[in-house]
Structure 1
Amino acid sequence: MKIIFVGLGSIGKRHLNILKKLYDDIDIIAFRSNKNSKNFSGVKNYYDLDKALAQSPDIAFITNPTSLHIKSAIKCAQVGCHLFLEKPLSNNTENIEELINIIEKNNLITLMGCNIRFNPVIKEIKQIISDLENRKLYSYRINCGSYLPDWRPDRDYRKIYSAKEGLGGGVILDLIHEIDYAYWLFGKATDIKAYTGHFSNLKINTEDVAEIILKNKENIIGNIHLDYFRVKAKRIIEIITEDYVIEGNLLNGELNILYKDKDINKVLNFKHEEMYEEQMKYFINCVKEGKKTFNGIKDGYEVLKIALKAKKEGYQ
């Protein structure tokens, strides 16, 4: 199996290392935009995407800046590459329908790179609420925040894509994981309200905070808080149902189910890297078996539309 990476920044390197750890029967090439980019053992670099694609890769990992995702994915899909698209799908909706048409015409397998769906807390919550049957689910709250300069201590945060609107940065697209798993757990939002802006002293030209209110067709109301300036990271979800409250901490694995007269508490131990490894194994297996994934490009498109609506609503 031959794999091409389009972009080998921080997230691309993570996926590359996981692939090399899990599989010894793969051939890896990479399209690099800069001839001074770091070389990686076992990876042959190309500086022209057409020449790289002429090597007939089976799978493309689209891990370059968000604003370049669709253009790169279209080229890879046209030559028959199955696609792993790092989140978010794009920073706008241009040419996404064209990409979807190519994917469907060529019967390609796609997966959005949303590793939080493989967090054991989210996986267990998905099972719990799937078993609710006719019991009522009322509302949910999601809170995700951290301090942007701490994300990559070896780099100036002002120069990474997160800080640049034109590259697809900003807290809504950057932390789209929360919108993605809300979509997975609770379905498509039919009404979206938001308030966003740049309120901290971070030297970026994107929004650093967002409050998003969502409602779906079952009238489940959700609130998603996202920020770049929380000095101590937090990633939690609370769900209120007719019979109990679910509290999940995605950072430390705590999962609590609170009834009126009792609590059930557990800790789902995991290492952060395991989510990426499970995601990788799932995707490669789907490609080998020709099986559609549970988070393909159409799902990524729906999630992106929610995020873009929130960005637009928030700045009005």
Structure 2
Amino acid sequence: MISLRRTPLSEPLSKSRALQVLVIGAGSIGRRHAANLAALGAHVEVTDPVPARAAAIASTTPRRFDLDDLGDPDAIVIASPTQFHALHLRAALATGARILVEKPLALPDDDLDGLVAAGQGRVMVGYNLRLHEPLVRLVDSIEQGRAGEVVAARLWFGSWLPDWRPRVDYRDTYSARRDLGGGVLLDAIHELDEAVWLWGHDLEVIGAFVDRVGPLEIDVEDTVHAILRTATGVPIDVALDYLSRRYRRGVEVVGAEATIRYDWSTTDLTIESAGGVECCNIDTPIAESYEREADRFVQFVIDGTPPPVDATEGAESVRLAARILHAGAHRTKSDR
């Protein structure tokens, strides 16, 4: 079972100085990581190709963007667009720092094997939902046998892309752009990581549909439907989209003894069995999972405590995405 106990910043590497952290990327996720690590007492520098963005983050120090000179930090956070994860990770690995890479680890066509080999013992991948209380409790219930023998499962995510960042033109975001590694398959890769978390690395893709079918002005897929099969033959249905007008997300596991479901729209964790229905409302703010992630990263940096997702585990969701793309004979309207 994963502990959700919050811990203060552990003893710094020395009592004379704070943990030195460099954040690469000053977008929304970079700002979040910088703020959480600064709140834990770390000294945080931020670097970004647009200097003004780095300079605008409170409680941090801007640094000139130069991948050949990242300084000598204890830790590096890679919070750049997905397209640049592999490049920035290689630059970070050239330092002596331990590294947090925002999900996904890299693109499907990057050298995943090489990144995993180079990152052994030094890389944590930012799948904060592995520390989100309702999902931890769902996984615990399944591992404790509450569902009985699992016979089917489904994972779903849908949200209207223009509503994600209302103050920004969605067409300019990395989500909408192929050249920045966008598309709902990688954007919603948390759902693939949940499948890896629950059923391991041996997930076969039986079939998939990956395409752009809606009215959004984007050059990436807005819809994914995939059927997976576990090593024991359990079918898993995955549905992801940028088109649902109301936010929808969840995971459901059907077992011989019970069906266990977490629905993000209601924040209800439900266990339905012959004996009745147990329902527990868990509305833990998602921000807490990022705070726990910061705690776990600090522990990893200071004493090597294994992270929730290391490079080996983090590569599996990307490999699964690659198999889905292949099965879906990926194309978009702009390719036709």
Q: TM-score, normalised by structure 1?
A: 0.93
Matched, 1:66 2:79: no
Q: Work out the number of aligned pairs and report it.
A: 309
The secondary structure found in structure 1 opposite 2:246 is strand
Q: 1:173 aligns with which of 171, 183, 186?
A: 186
Matched, 1:124 2:137: yes
Structure 2: how far apart are the matches of 1:297 and 1:209? 27
Q: 2:94 aligns with which of 40, 61, 78?
A: 78
Q: Which moved more, 1:128-137 or 1:161-170?
A: 128-137
Q: Which 5+ residue runs of structure 2 have no aligned equivalent?
A: 1-18, 331-336
Structure 2: how far apart are the matches of 1:190 and 1:273? 30
Shift of 1:162: 0.5
Q: Which 5+ residue runs of structure 1 have no aligned equivalent?
A: none
Shift of 1:302: 0.9
Matched, 1:246 2:250: no
Question: Which residue identity lines up with residue 230 of structure 1 in the other structure?
Answer: S
Q: 1:204 aligns with which of 218, 228, 245?
A: 218
Q: 1:268 aligns with which of 282, 299, 303?
A: 282
Structure 1: how far apart are the matches of 2:326 and 2:179? 15
Question: Which residue identity lines up with residue 195 of structure 1 in the other structure?
Answer: F
Shift of 1:203: 0.4
Moved over 4 A (4+): none
Asked if the contact 1:29–1:46 (Cα under 8 Å) also holds between the matched residues in 2, the reply is no
Structure 2: how far apart are the matches of 1:64 and 1:99? 17
Asked if the contact 2:37–2:44 (Cα under 8 Å) also holds between the matched residues in 1, the reply is no
Question: Which residue identity lines up with residue 26 of structure 2 in the other structure?
Answer: L
Structure 2: how far apart are the matches of 1:134 and 1:160? 40
Structure 1: how far apart are the matches of 2:202 and 2:229? 5
**Which residue is 1:89 aligned to?**
105
Q: 1:5 aligns with which of 13, 23, 29?
A: 23
Residues 216-257 of structure 1: CA deviation (Å, up to 9, x unaligned): 111111001000010000111111001011121134421110
Asked if the contact 1:122–1:250 (Cα under 8 Å) also holds between the matched residues in 2, the reply is no
Q: 2:240 aligns with which of 194, 201, 226?
A: 226
Q: Which moved more, 1:137-146 or 1:282-291?
A: 282-291
Asked if the contact 2:30–2:79 (Cα under 8 Å) also holds between the matched residues in 1, the reply is yes
Shift of 1:100: 2.4
Shift of 1:173: 0.4
Structure 1: how far apart are the matches of 2:62 and 2:52? 14
Shift of 1:273: 0.9
Asked if the contact 1:254–1:265 (Cα under 8 Å) also holds between the matched residues in 2, the reply is yes
Residues 150-172 of structure 1: CA deviation (Å, up to 9, x unaligned): 11111110011111112110010
- Sequence identity of aligned pairs in percent? 27
Asked if the contact 1:3–1:57 (Cα under 8 Å) also holds between the matched residues in 2, the reply is yes
Asked if the contact 2:54–2:62 (Cα under 8 Å) also holds between the matched residues in 1, the reply is no
Shift of 1:287: 2.3
Structure 2: how far apart are the matches of 1:101 and 1:305? 15
